[in-house]
Amino acid sequence: MVNFQYKDHYDINDFRVIMELLRGENGCPWDRVQTHESIRRDLLEEAYETATAIDSGDLDNLREELGDLQMQVLFHARMEEEKGGFTFDDVCDEACKKLIRRHPHVFGRMELDTPEEVLVTWDEVKRQEKAQKSTAQAMDSVARALPALWRAEKIQKKAAKEGFDWPDWHGARKKLTEELGELDEALAAGERIEEELGDVLAAAVNLARLLKIDPEQALNGSSDRFVRRYTRMEALAAEKGQALADLDLDGQEALWQQAKGEE
């Protein structure tokens, strides 16, 4: 039993104390053995669960998920503090200084009137902070842990800012057809298939960007439709006393088209 004061309402300082207790000598056996690497996936999962709460519009769930995400920040900071590294206060200090630097129109004398101007300045300050002297360096700094579609879009946007871009979506659509042709050639040859398939996906992301469509959102929407239609297929098969898995491909395709047509 640890020495802890129970309250009707807790704040960020209590949050820090709880994390210290969990990691302490008499704390939780699981929490005590974790490392940055062991809970890396947890951090990503909590971020996505927070995004899901935002998408659902469920504010109670959003409050809960933001707390879970904050717990991950505190967890990582506490592990470093135990080793004599940085502290949670250091994390807050760095974040505050970064916000001040990147908002010279608020904390300085610069005048920016539009969100677009703000983003340009933000990127310029960011590149100065990271000593990025070229667009290639800025591209290379895009986090590799991002979802692949998202990373591709961010890299393409950086190239577009330097003028390396199609004037409109028509050029990107032709490029997608070209990449599909190269994939067909790779399939016929039995080589470079992964490389060419990757180029097809990148071309599709580029088309989405120029159409002002979020590729992640588009693919998630497609996945949602697939699940919805597959669920209906199973129901249609069950109505006929059949199991979907027992039908041949033509039978399954017929149910797919029926389910699709009902939408």
pLDDT of residue 253: 97
Could you give the CA distance from residue 68 to residue 46 in angstroms, rounded to a whole number? 6
Q: What is the pTM of this model?
A: 0.77
pLDDT of residue 4: 85
Q: Report whether CATH 1.10.287.1080 matches the domain 12-88.
A: yes
Burial class (CB in 10 A: 0-12, 13-18, 19+), 207: buried
pLDDT of residue 123: 87
**Following DSSP, what letter does each residue of 196-207 receive, concatenated?**
HHHHHHHHHHHH
pLDDT of residue 3: 83
If one counts every other C-beta atom within 10 angstroms of the C-beta of residue 47, the result is 14
pLDDT of residue 101: 94
Q: Is 7 left (phi over 0), alpha (psi -120 to 50) or beta?
A: beta
DSSP annotation of 246 reads: G
Chain mean position to CA 208 = 17
List, for the chain, all residue ranges whose pLDDT scores fall below the cut of 50.
Answer: none
pLDDT of residue 47: 95
**Measured over all CA atoms, what is the biggest interatomic distance in the chain, rounded to whole angstroms?**
73
Q: What is the pLDDT of residues 49-90, one digit of tens each?
A: 999 999 999 999 999 999 999 999 999 999 999 999 999 999
Amino acid in position 115: P
pLDDT of residue 2: 76
CATH for 142-213, options being 2.60.120.380, 3.40.50.300, 2.60.40.3880, 1.10.287.1080: 1.10.287.1080
Could you give the CA distance from residue 30 to residue 22 in angstroms, rounded to a whole number? 9
In this chain, the answer to whether the domains covering 12-88 and 142-213 adopt an identical fold is: yes
Domain ranges of the chain: 12-88, 142-213, 217-261
